[in-house]
């Protein structure tokens, strides 16, 4: 029985029909993801071979590091959509939102309603890996006051919460929904992140998942989630992602 639980399966058997990857960095040359259009198509092609045909890609919007405007993101998206059609990927659907760092510049965008949503009122947000913003709960309140729903990217990666799990419950109570990075189930980000991801899964605190794909090494490592045991753990979340179609 133990052997059965660890049995490896191809990723095509993990991702259900209609699954939408809501977190990735596939637009060319605008953040730390795909470097150029050729790299973009190569990444999407590989993900397609895994059975992923629906994407809402989410470039970083991060201060002066990645100051991506809504117009820049939409322009890059059009470029990718055109290239995919030219290469015959007619059954791939790709849209774009953004992964917003919750900083002062984000609050300006929020005030101006200059926000790209995943779908409906869901917006993908993140915070620094070093510490939470001092006004985190004020920001979360402002997001919801504007009618948006904050989807917190990879909560398991915020190491400053690892030793005080109550913070995760507090975030949920404050209106956050949680997005698991599938690579957090592997050793990609370290044992602490892997352990926290498993605990959050066990406590049923996740709402959605994303690959957070930046490059081919990520996709190579993603194969490690291809087991019967892992599929059983996350299938309910993979199904929930279908709502973003």
Closest listed residue to residue 138, CA positions, set 190, 174, 84: 174
Closest listed residue to residue 178, CA positions, set 204, 142, 147, 212: 204
How far apart CA 22 and CA 241 sit, in angstroms, is 8
pLDDT surpassing 90 at residue 6: no
Q: What is the mean pLDDT of residues 9-27?
A: 97
Share of the chain above pLDDT 70, in %: 98
pLDDT surpassing 50 at residue 1: no
How far apart CA 95 and CA 192 sit, in angstroms, is 33
pLDDT confidence tier of residue 181, bands split at 50, 70 and 90: very high
Q: What is the pLDDT of residue 4?
A: 47
Q: What is the mean pLDDT of residues 46-59?
A: 98
Which residues make Cβ contacts (< 8 Å) with residue 86, sequence separation at least 6? none
Segment holding 96, helix H or strand E: strand 93-96
At residue 114, φ and ψ (nearest 5 deg) are -95, 65
Mean pLDDT, the chain, rounded, equals 96
pLDDT surpassing 80 at residue 2: no
131-179: per-residue pLDDT in tens? Answer: 999 999 999 999 999 999 999 999 999 999 999 999 999 999 999 999 9
Say if CB 213 and CB 26 are below 8 A apart.
yes
Lowest mean pLDDT among 2-16, 58-72, 163-177: 2-16
pLDDT surpassing 80 at residue 112: yes
How far apart CA 46 and CA 120 sit, in angstroms, is 28
Lowest mean pLDDT among 6-15, 52-61, 97-106: 6-15
DSSP states along 164-215: -THHHHHHHHTT-EEEEEGGGGTTTT-HHHHHHHHHHHHTT---EEE--B-S
- Residue in the structure block whose two tokens are 């990520």: 218
187-232: per-residue pLDDT in tens? Answer: 999 999 999 999 999 999 999 999 999 999 999 999 999 999 999 9
pLDDT surpassing 60 at residue 130: yes
Give the pair of three-digit tokens for residue 229. 């045991």
Strands across the sheet with 149-153, in order? 60-61, 99-101, 122-126, 149-153, 177-181, 208-210
pTM (two decimals): 0.96
Q: Which domains does the chain have, with CATH numbers?
A: 2-244 (3.20.20.140)
Which residues make Cβ contacts (< 8 Å) with residue 197, sequence separation at least 6? 156, 180, 181, 184, 185
Q: What is the pLDDT of residue 149?
A: 98
How far apart CA 206 and CA 200 sit, in angstroms, is 7
pLDDT confidence tier of residue 107, bands split at 50, 70 and 90: very high
pLDDT confidence tier of residue 3, bands split at 50, 70 and 90: very low
Q: What is the pLDDT of residue 156?
A: 98
Name the 3-class secondary structure at 6.
coil
């Amino acid at each position: 029985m133990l052997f059965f639980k660890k049995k490896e399966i191809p990723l095509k058997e993990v991702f259900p029909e209609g699954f939408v990857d809501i977190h990735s960095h596939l637009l060319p040359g605008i953040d730390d993801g795909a470097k150029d259009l050729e790299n973009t198509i190569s990444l999407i092609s590989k993900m397609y071979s895994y059975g992923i045909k629906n994407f809402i890609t989410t470039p970083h919007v991060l201060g002066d590091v990645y100051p991506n405007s809504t117009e820049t993101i939409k322009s890059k998206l059009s470029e990718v959509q055109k290239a995919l059609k030219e290469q015959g990927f007619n059954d791939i659907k790709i849209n774009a939102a953004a992964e917003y760092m919750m900083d002062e510049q984000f609050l300006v965008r929020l005030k101006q309603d200059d926000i790209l949503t995943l779908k409906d009122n869901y917006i993908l947000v993140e915070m620094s890996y070093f510490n939470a913003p001092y006004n985190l709960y004020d920001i979360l309140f402002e997001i919801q006051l504007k009618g948006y729903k904050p989807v917190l990217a990879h909560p398991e990666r915020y190491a400053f919460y690892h030793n005080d799990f109550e913070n995760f419950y507090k975030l949920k109570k404050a209106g956050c929904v949680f997005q698991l990075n599938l690579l957090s189930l592997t050793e990609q980000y370290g044992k602490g992140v892997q352990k926290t991801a498993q605990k959050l899964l066990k406590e049923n605190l996740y709402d959605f998942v994303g690959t957070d794909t930046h490059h081919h090494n990520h996709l190579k490592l993603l194969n490690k989630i291809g087991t019967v045991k892992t599929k059983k753990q996350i299938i309910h979340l993979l199904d929930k992602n279908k709502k973003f179609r």
